[in-house]
Each structure stands twice: as structure tokens, then as C-alpha cells.
Amino acid sequence: MKKRVVSVLLVVMFTASIFAFAGCSTSGGSADVVKLGFIGPMTGDAAIYGSSAEEGAQLAVAEINAAGGIDGKNIELVAYDSKADQTEAINAYNRLRDQDGVVAVIGGTLSGETLAMKDIMVQDNMPVLSPTATAVEVTQAAPNVFRACFLDDYQGQAAANFAATTLGAKTAALLIGTGNPYSEGVSEAFKAAFTAKGGTIAGSESYGTADKDFSAQLTKIKEMNPDVVFVPDYVQTVGPILQKAKEMGITAKFVGADGWDGVQEEYADAAQGNYFTNHYAADSPSETVQNFITAYKKEYDKVPNSFAALGYDAVYAMVEAITAAGSTDSADIITALKATDHAGVTGTLKFDEEGNPKDKEVTIIKIDGGQLKFDSTVVNK
Amino acid sequence: MDHIKKKAYLINTIAVVALYLVFFVLIQTKTMNNYFVGIAIMTCIMIIMAMSLNIVAGFLGEMALGHAGFMAIGAYASASFSMALIDSGLPLPQLVILILAMIVGGIVAGIFGFLIGTPTLRLRGDYLGIVTIGFSEIIRIFFINFGPTGGAAGLKGITRLVNFHNVYWVTIIVAFLIFTLGRSKQGRAIISIREDEIAAEAAGIPTTQYKVLAFSLAAFFAGVGGALYAHYQSFLEPSKFGFMFSIEMFVIVVLGGLGSITGSIISAIVLTVLPEMLRSFAEYRLLVYSLVLIIMMIFRPQGIFGRTEFSLTAFIESLIQRKNVKKSIGGGEAS
Amino acid sequence: MNLFLQQLINGLNVGSIYALIAIGYTMVYGIIKLINFAHGEIMMFGAYFAFIAATSFHLPVWAVLLSSMVIMAIIGVAIEFVAYRPLRNAPRLSALITAIGVSLFLQNLALIIFKPDPKVMPKIFPETIYKLGEIEISSTTLITIGLSLFFMVLLDLYIRKTKQGRAMRAVSEDKDAAILMGINVNRTISLTFAVGSALGALGGVLYSVAYIQVYPTMGVMPGLKAFIAAVLGGIGIIPGAMLGGFIIGMVETMTKAYLSTTWADAIVFAILIIVLLFKPTGILGKNTREKV
């Protein structure tokens, strides 16, 4: 009997807590604050991407508020963790819309979570500007979804052109992260563009998302002896790969994509003399870029990566659109977003009819003495 | 006896319909916005997953740590099926497509459950646990490398067919089926294996056959859950069905009480809603979640319900009885 | 041939780390029949403490290893005392869930304390590359393999020759009989956690040196692999864990080298499943007859 009482009590407690949870829902959208939503992974394996983009976005919000906000109204960035999980992302988005009453969303950070939310976002006609989701489908058949980054294939093509033309490479080896759509997407484009330029792919090796041991793959690549090795992945994977490659005495040039941003910090020696494609150059004389880097370093005590830069730009572009629209009405904001012409850290942001950045230039960066040096720019036509 | 059974059915049916009506009104009047509806749908799917896992973990008493793999099979199979069906242009109503997709997802997952269960169920305890993890990881790696379902980038463009109304009734039906299974001849045979395999065998129960049956049925319902998940998310990614997701389901079942269907239901509700309640804690969220888990297990290691079921009829009767007792006491004082 | 030998060394390197971590799993399992899911996180914290010792305090190598091992031994004992001891007589699956809870807790604690960005582990071992013909072996690899083997031999001696070691074996054989023999079971279990966690921490440090990084989720995959290794060798049997570790490391490297990198993990699991189907208690496991 006592047991049953305890169980009943537990049940009552939980039901009560659920109702309490429903009850505490606040109606969003108070008059003097404009709320923007942010969605990205902040826990789990992909935590670094979401938190970097959020830091960039929060920095932009702080700057805009210090400069008077939107027509005197302060902006608030409501950021939720997606755990890189689709279900979590959908719940987070629903919550942003229904509980917090956001007028627009910066996110998602990863392609997968953004694709999961896309259908509902389109139904709601919510103004969405993803800083970093690179999968092609993100903006397709979604007039309200925009993105600030260039697409995977655009970047892969630029890297291949650079490797074949500027570096004069004849053979290339690929090292691809399977289970990582970004790495796979960029590699595919690189492969196609590199062979189109008359180069040969000496071979491609791959590793799983959680792999940390690359010695088997690199031993094989060393045997292939290619001119360049293309490794499109993020710093925390690329760093150890470069380090291991150096230890093994691989002499080929390594080329990568925007995920490399930040590699000069901890892996300066290993990355010395290699190249990657990026959204901006840290040594650019542009005031916007320098201001961003200084402010970010001051705020977070570390060097920004491309996720942070894109998060920062996305907020600025979105705020510009809201200001231009003169209202927080979804349709007005979307119309204003279409006409975006924002000179940001990652170059000039304009959108084509699909909502992708138009004619964005790809910057080639060389790692030299622990610094990222501007090398050249490529615009794919 | 028959009369009591009838009464129980009646009370439970009334409760189920009443609960539905409450939700129906809340949704129609927009008191419950899409955010809560979304959580409710996910909760229903997790309830199905937990109940189906309970067949193996609770009734049969085996450690199965690869339930996400069967869910993945069901999700991918049903999604491919419904996409092909919609492409073929047959003028079928959405509900029919969803039902067909669920059946396909369930059957395909069930077949895999049979194929995997037959050789592996000779193993016991932790060894079976690790083998089920192994199979579920192999399934996930297969979907990462399998081009026709989108590989690592995921399967896109699945039609969203699931809403709260249909997912609620599917959950009720599945709950009814699994509950009936637990009370049936087969169910009792399966439970007897948990209690004492050797004694069960001595009593003439073909244990291997029943083990495989339990495993396949669990896989079937997991496939149904996967089908619902696919048609709610409209997008599938192999990374979702990782090892941690299986663990999450297992946690739900143990926390609810092994072998208790009502326990699984309550526990699925708690553990799906809890992380949402903690959303504003940002990075402290999972810290709190794990603490709750540890504390609950220390203070109630047999789970919320243990092996018992929560019975609405018994609950109501005990309420009435208490009132009567009170009345009689009160009456006694008055006289 | 050279390529093969090179890959063989790569395999030994990974395998020795898996073996170290697997020992912790197996020891704890042997004594309280609990799969300590938090072991991967112990390894991760061990790596973080080594990182702090090396970068903030600039301790010498032996002190880095020792401090990390000692701290993790204490934490391991504390975890057992707080989270597992209350559940000692509870159903085994409840204890398992608690272990999962502890694992999640430690992982997210690390996320909050250390932030998600991977830290780069400094090279705490002197770095030279030895050439044997065309095969290259780095000193880190040699030290990793050497240290692992050294501690495994030490552990084996400890378990077989000392009084505490005998007590551990007695408790894992039959707890009730051990109590009757006057063995302090609680103390023996604590000691087991201390030794297992210290070896896990060492594994973590070696892993982070070999693969350069330290981050909150670093324990998950090697933890799972080491767990597989322990089961493959026959869980509860210490030499089995060592053997399993080397086998998993070798199989993983060789599949990546000669079969397929995308399917490497799947093949590791497939081998595990096949072995268990033919030898249900693992390679070195004893077949126990079920008693009626």
C-alpha cells in the first residue's frame, strides 16, 4: 500500500511539474525589445560550432545595442541549444516562435538541423538567415530562408582551381570525413573541378566523425606521394591530421576549406606553408574586419573562427533588414532581406533569387609563421 | 470476473477519450501552441519506443542496447515507401499512406529483429548488450554509406503526415497491443523466461522461440515508432540513431520500471519533457538532467513503478474506499 | 612489406591505449558486475588534469603522469562511494543507468569547466623519430607502448602476488565467501576503483598525447572501443582485456589500411559479434555451467 502511495505521489508530482511548466510560459514580444532567435549546438560533439557562431552573434548584438539598437529598441538574442539533433532543433525553433515571440531567426548552425526545421519555417514564413548551413537544399523552395556562407561546391571548386592553377598541382589526394556532409560536399566539388582542370586524383582516404587516429590513412597517402592533399574539415580534426602528417614526413602541400580558420593558433608549426579557402582574411586592411577581430578577442579572449565571423555578419544583415523594413512583420523583413547589401567581415553580402550569397569572393589564405596571410581571391563564375 | 474486466475496459476507454478531448480542446483553442504540440508528438513517439523496448528489457529481462537501430530501419524503410507511393500518384488519403508506411516500417524492422535475434539470443546479459550495440552501430554506419537514402547528408523531402491526433491514437493502440501481449499466453511464457529460464524450459516452453518472438515484436513496434518519427521530422539523418539514443530509450524503460508499461509511459513523458523544461539553463541543462537521473536511481532503484502497473480502476476504487472510510468515521462520530 | 610493418606499429600504438582503458572496465566489472560507463569520462578528466599540470604548473613528465593518476584514483573512489555504493544491492540495470548518469554528468561538467574547444596537449615526451630501414617510429609511440606494457606487468604482479591483489580476486570470485574470510569488501572495491581509474587516467594522457587534443567528449569513442575490447577478451578477466585491446587496435588499423576506412568501425563490431557467437564468453572467458 505504501508503495502505491509513493507511486501515486510521484505521478502527481510529475503531472504537476508539467502543468507548472506550461503555466510559466511567458508571452514574448514586449514593446521595447526586438527578439532574435539563435539555434545551434552548444553541447555534445559539435558544441564548438554552435557556441562560436553564437559568440559572434552576441558580439554583434552588443555592438548594435550600444549604438542605439533598432530605432531605439534594444535587440535580444535568444539562443537555444540544438545538441546537433533534429528533434531538439525543431523544439527549440517552436519555442523561439511560440514562447519567446522572436521576429527572425539566425540559424541553424549545421546543415542537418536547418533542414529539419526548414519545412516548419517555410510554413510560418519566418525570416531566417543561417550563418553557416552549407547544404544546397537549405534555401531551395524556401523564399524566407537565406544564408550568409557560400555553398560547399562553390568553395570546393575555388580550392581546386587554386590548387591546379596557382600551385600547379598535377596529382591530388583527398582525405574526407565520412558522416560529415560538409567534408563530403566540398570534396566532391573539388574532385570534379580538379579533374576538369586536367589533374588526377591519386586516391581518396576517409575517416569517421569520431576518429582521432589518422595514421593508417596518412601512411597510405604518403605512399601515393601526391602534389597536394585536400582536407576539408574543421580545425579540431585538421590540426591533428597536419601534425601527424608532419611527424610522418609528408611533404605534399595541404589545402583546406573555411573549417581551417583558427588553425594558426594551436597548430602553427604543423600548418606552416599550407593553404585554405576562407570568407575573409584576418590581415585585411578593412576596418570592419579589424574591428571585429579586436572586439572578439577582447570579449572572449581568443581568436575568432569563420563560424564566429559569419554569426556576426548574419546578425548585422538581419538587423539592417529589420531597420529597412521599418516593422517586425515577417513579410516586410523578408522583402527587405532580399534587397540586402551588407559590407561585412566576410565580404559583401547580397542574395540571389534562391537566398544564397551572390558573387561572394573566396579568399585564399596561407598559413605563415603562425599568422594567416592573405594570398589571393577567387570568384567562381 | 467478466464484469470487473468490462468495468476496467470502460473506465480506461473513458479516460483515454477524455484525455484526447482535453488535448483536442486545448489545441483547437490555441491554448496549446505548436511548441507544446511538437513536444507532445515527440513524447508519444518516445512512449512507443519505450513500450516496445520494454518487451525485451522488461518482459524478457534481457539487456538490449540497440533499439535505435531498429527505429532507424523502420524510419528509413517507411520513408522510402511513402515517398515512392506519393511519387506514383495514387490518389490515397494521407492517413492511409501513413498507416501503410507504419506497417511497412514495422514489418521491415521486425524482419531484421528476427534475423538478428535468431543467432544472438543465445548470448546473455552484458554480452547480448554489447552485441545489440554492435548491430545498431553497423546499421547506422550502413545508412551513412548508403547512397539511395542520402548517405551522411540525410534523406530529405519526406511528406509530413504525422500530427498530434493520429500519433495519439497510434500510441493508444500500440499501448493496448503491448499491454494485451503482456497478459496473453505468449506474454506469460516470455515473462516466465525472465523469471527462470531453466524452469521455463523444463515446463515445456520453447524458450528460444519465445525469445526471438519477443525480440522481433519489439523491433516491429520500434519500426512503427521510427515510421512516425520519419513522417513527423520529414528529414532523416543517420547520426540521430547513434548509441546514445539507444541508451536514452533504455534509461526511460529502467526509470519507469522494467516490465511496467504504465511506468514506461510516465517515464517517457518525464524524460522527454524534462530537458525542455530545462532549456533556459542552456549548458547546465544536461548536467541537471544527469543529476536527476542519478538521484532517482539511488532513491528508487526499481524504477518509478517497479514491476507493477498503475491501474486506473484500482486507483479510483481506492479513492472511493477512502471516502467511504472517512464517511463511516465521520458518521461514527456524529452518532 | 614496409607499409605493413608501419601499419602494425600504428596498430600496436592504438591497441596499447585501448588495453589500458579496457583494464579499468574489466576490473570494475569483475568485482561488482557493473559496466562502468563513466570510465571513458575518467580517462577524459585524467587527460585534462595532465594538460593543466603540464601547461599551468610546468611539471616534469613523471609528475604530470603521477599527479593525473593519483587525482583520478581519488575521484574514481569518490564516484564509487557516492553513486555506486548505495546501489550495490539494487537490480544491476539500475546501477548501469546510474553509471550512464555519472558519465553524462562528468561530460557536461567538463563542458562547463573547460569549454567545448579542444585544447592542444603539449608534447610532454621528448620527440625524436627513429628509423629502422624505411619504417619510422616516433619516441611518443615507443613510450606509449612501453609505458602501457610496464603498467600491465606491474598490475599483473600486484594482482597475483600481493595481499590486496588476492583480496580483489577473492571478492570477484565470491563476495559472500570473501566476507566470511575476513576480507574488507568495501575497502577492496574502493581499491579496485582506484587502480582502474588510475590506469584509465594514464590511458587518457597517452591518448591525448598521441592524438594531440583534450576535449569534453574525447572519452566516448575510446571508452566504447575499450569496452568492446574488454568484452571481446572476456569481461572480468584482466589478461583478456589486454588481449582484447591489442586485437581491437590492430583490427581497426588493418581494416583502415587494407579494407575500407568508412566501414572500419562496422567491421570491428562485426568481428566482435562473430567471436561472441562462437565463444559467448569472450576469447579468454571460461564457460560457466548454468546451475539449476
Q: How confident is the model at residue B317 (pLDDT cuts 50, 70, 90)?
A: confident
Residue A295 is which amino acid? A
Q: In this predicted structure, what is the pLDDT of residue A24?
A: 44
* Residue C254 belongs to some domain of the structure: no
List of chains touching A (3+ CB pairs within 8 A) = B, C
Measured between CA atoms, the residue of chain B closest to residue C85 is: B298
* Residue C47 belongs to some domain of the structure: yes
Which residues of A make CB contacts under 8 Å with C? 42-45, 47-48, 51, 178, 205-208, 210-213, 215-217, 219-220, 223, 236, 239-240, 243, 247-249, 266-267, 302
* Residue B2 belongs to some domain of the structure: no
Count: domains in chain B: 1
Q: Which of A4 and A179 is assigned the larger pLDDT?
A: A179
* Residue B335 belongs to some domain of the structure: no
Nearest by CB: B63 against C93, C95, C277: C93
- Cβ pair A312, A52 in contact under 8 A: no
Chain C, 14 to 33: residues with Cβ < 8 Å from chain A are: 14
HEC string of C167-203?
A: HHHHHHHCHHHHHHCCCCHHHHHHHHHHHHHHHHHHH
Domain range for B152: 33-330
Q: How confident is the model at residue A20 (pLDDT cuts 50, 70, 90)?
A: very low
Nearest by CB: A181 against B153, B273, B286: B153
Nearest by CB: B254 against C94, C103, C112: C94
Compute the nearest-CA separation of B239 from chain C (Å). Answer: 14
- The verdict on B153 touching A (C-beta cutoff 8 Å) is yes
- The verdict on B17 touching C (C-beta cutoff 8 Å) is no
Q: Which of B335 and B61 is assigned the larger pLDDT?
A: B61
Hey, are the CB atoms on C108 and B137 less than 8 Å from each other?
no
pLDDT above 60: residue A59 = yes
- Cβ pair A75, A69 in contact under 8 A: yes
* Residue B122 belongs to some domain of the structure: yes
Chain B CB contacts of A180 below 8 Å = 152
Q: How confident is the model at residue B274 (pLDDT cuts 50, 70, 90)?
A: confident
The tens digit of pLDDT for each residue in B197-216 reads 889 989 888 988 999 999 99
What CATH number did the domain enclosing B65 receive? 1.10.3470
Compute the nearest-CA separation of A166 from chain B (Å). Answer: 31
Q: Which of B318 and C287 is assigned the larger pLDDT?
A: B318
Instruction: List phi, psi (to 5°) of A207.
Output: -145, 155
Nearest by CB: C87 against B145, B250, B298: B298
Chain B CB contacts of C98 below 8 Å = 293-294, 297-298
Q: How confident is the model at residue B169 (pLDDT cuts 50, 70, 90)?
A: very high
Chain A CB contacts of B318 below 8 Å = 4
Q: In this predicted structure, what is the pLDDT of residue A299?
A: 92
Domain A33-150+286-350 coded CATH 3.40.50.620: no
CA proximity to A158, closest of A364, A368, A375: A364
Q: In this predicted structure, what is the pLDDT of residue B326?
A: 62
Chain B CB contacts of A7 below 8 Å = 304-305, 308, 310
Angle at A282 between CA A277 and CA A284, to 5 degrees: 100
Supply the mean pLDDT for chain C.
88
Least confident of A4-13, B197-206, B321-330, C158-167: A4-13
The stretch C237-264 carries a mean pLDDT of 87
Chain A, 73 to 92: residues with Cβ < 8 Å from chain B are: 79-81, 84-88, 90-92
Fold equal for A33-150+286-350 and A152-278+363-378: yes
* Residue C165 belongs to some domain of the structure: yes
Q: In this predicted structure, what is the pLDDT of residue A19?
A: 47
Instruction: List phi, psi (to 5°) of A273.
Output: 85, 5
Chain A CB contacts of B266 below 8 Å = 10-11, 14
* Residue B17 belongs to some domain of the structure: no
The tens digit of pLDDT for each residue in B237-258 reads 888 898 889 988 998 998 888 8
CA proximity to A256, closest of A368, A176, A178: A176
Q: In this predicted structure, what is the pLDDT of residue A54?
A: 93
Domain residue ranges of chain A, discontinuous segments joined by +: 33-150+286-350, 152-278+363-378
Nearest by CB: B141 against C86, C266, C292: C266
The tens digit of pLDDT for each residue in B27-42 reads 888 888 888 898 999 9
Measured between CA atoms, the residue of chain B closest to residue C221 is: B243
pLDDT above 90: residue B281 = no
pLDDT above 80: residue C253 = yes
pLDDT above 70: residue A8 = no
Supply the mean pLDDT for chain A.
85
Percent of the residues in chain C that have a pLDDT greater than 90, as a whole number: 30
Hey, are the CB atoms on A247 and C7 less than 8 Å from each other?
no
Hey, are the CB atoms on A266 and C111 less than 8 Å from each other?
no
What are the grid coordinates assigned to C265, written together?
Answer: 568501425
The tens digit of pLDDT for each residue in C39-66 reads 999 999 999 999 999 999 888 889 999 9
The tens digit of pLDDT for each residue in A173-232 reads 999 988 777 888 899 899 999 999 888 999 888 888 777 888 888 988 988 899 999 999
pLDDT above 50: residue A301 = yes
Q: How confident is the model at residue B329 (pLDDT cuts 50, 70, 90)?
A: low
* Residue C158 belongs to some domain of the structure: yes
In angstroms, the CA A126 to CA A33 distance is 18
* Residue B220 belongs to some domain of the structure: yes
- The verdict on C215 touching A (C-beta cutoff 8 Å) is yes
Count: domains in chain C: 1
* Residue C265 belongs to some domain of the structure: no
Q: How confident is the model at residue A266 (pLDDT cuts 50, 70, 90)?
A: confident
pLDDT above 70: residue B149 = yes
Least confident of A17-21, A307-311, C114-118: A17-21
Q: In this predicted structure, what is the pLDDT of residue A1?
A: 45
Hey, are the CB atoms on B287 and C235 less than 8 Å from each other?
no
The tens digit of pLDDT for each residue in A325-342 reads 988 899 999 999 999 888
ipTM over 0.85: no
Hey, are the CB atoms on C111 and A47 less than 8 Å from each other?
yes
Percent of the residues in chain A that have a pLDDT greater than 90, as a whole number: 32
Q: In this predicted structure, what is the pLDDT of residue B296?
A: 84
Q: In this predicted structure, what is the pLDDT of residue B91?
A: 84
Q: How confident is the model at residue A375 (pLDDT cuts 50, 70, 90)?
A: confident
pLDDT above 70: residue A2 = no
Q: Which of B146 and A19 is assigned the larger pLDDT?
A: B146
Across the beta sheet with A171-177, what order do the strands follow? A200-207, A171-177, A228-230, A253-256, A275-278, A362-368, A371-378
- Cβ pair A145, A130 in contact under 8 A: yes
**How many interface pairs between A and C have CB atoms less than 8 angstroms apart?**
80
CA proximity to B310, closest of C93, A12, A19, A20: A12
pLDDT above 50: residue B223 = yes
Radius of gyration of chain B (CA): 21
pLDDT above 90: residue A38 = yes
CATH superfamily of A152-278+363-378: Response regulator (3.40.50.2300)
Chain B, 262 to 281: residues with Cβ < 8 Å from chain A are: 266, 269-270, 273, 275-277, 279
- The verdict on B126 touching C (C-beta cutoff 8 Å) is yes
Q: How confident is the model at residue B282 (pLDDT cuts 50, 70, 90)?
A: low
Q: In this predicted structure, what is the pLDDT of residue B244?
A: 84
Domain range for C45: 2-219
The stretch A294-316 carries a mean pLDDT of 90
Supply the mean pLDDT for chain B.
87
The pTM (predicted TM-score) of the whole model is 0.85
Q: How confident is the model at residue C102 (pLDDT cuts 50, 70, 90)?
A: very high
Hey, are the CB atoms on C265 and A208 less than 8 Å from each other?
yes
